[in-house]
Amino acid sequence: MWLYLVALLVLYLLCRWYRERQTVSNLPDKHVFITGCDSGFGHLLAKQLDGRGLRVLAACLTEQGAERLQQETSGRLQTVILDVTKSDSIAAAAAWVKGQVGDRGLWGLVNNAGIRDPAGPNEFLSKADFTRVLDVNLVGLIEVTLSLLPLVRRAQGRVVNVASAAGRMSLIGGGYCPSKYGVEAFSDSLRRELRDFRVKVSIIEPGGFRTPLIDVQRVQKGLEQVWSCASANIKEAYGQQYFDCHFEKFKKFLFTNSSKLHLVTDAMEHALMARHPRTRYSCGWDAKLFYLPVSYLPTSWTDYLLTCSMPKPAQGI
């Protein structure tokens, strides 16, 4: 009996492999707009898609980032300056994209722009700390998407939103995890709404990767600032040891992150170019073998796994 089950599993995997290898046609005629192309995933994806012959429209936050990207790519790639926290900047970029794509519409929108800091224990942070991250990672993503959806619908194209393994369970305090939970929710509703327009929405869920977004010195500086801004009452309640251990644990986590950024950009590329893209792409072995399985465990088990090695606050029970 088990031989039949193995045969069925092998047949399923072969069919899935064949189905996922089918690509869309006329790639050189398709435009893809990517946010956050100064560095990291966005920068690498822009170069990767340009090498595949697509017409890449790369949004960078700075002139320096745009110039560096143009020097590393072909003349097909075009850049625009975009700050996703400013409505006038988004409106100007949307108008520019419309001028670039014309009546063909926009085949792909990749919402990649994001920040992580300020981060730390929640009670050490202010409302402004949360808002800063949410404005970039969630509110900005939503506004960019709404501004460009008419062009994506015209092309019956793709929307690719970068969430995170932290969009399934919160690994650290601050606005990053709530923003990625929000990206998951927004993407789910958008996927169902756009299905009848033949627009496909995919979610990218990376695990830990070494990008400019996560730098040890930058993280240390950010956490030290968070500690220095905390009130005396909060410092007394938690204690220096709790905060120091929090940083050391996170620093060890950073050093175990993967440097293989192509695992993420390959998933983005597949979501844009495959005839049958996946709904979700979990990128990295930590996402596949730890974060995703742990997110399905009972909450008490998840809480224990994530806190068992942390010290208790000074005034905790």
Q: Give the dihedral sign, CA 251/256/257/260.
A: positive
Beta pairing, strands 200-206 & 158-162: parallel
Tokens, residue 135: 């404005």
User: Which 3 state secondary structure label does DSSP give 204?
Assistant: strand
Q: What is the distance between the alpha carbons of residues 15 and 8, in angstroms, rounded to a whole number?
A: 10
Q: Which of 12, 18, 176, 238 is catalytic?
A: 176
Is 183 in contact with 163 (CB distance < 8 Å)?
yes
> What kind and span of H or E run contains 245?
helix 240-255
Backbone angles phi, psi at 206, to 5 degrees: -70, 150
The identity of residue 239, as a single letter, is: G
Residue whose C-alpha is closest to residue 39's, from 71, 67, 63, 69: 69
Catalytic annotation present for 238: no
Active site residues: 176
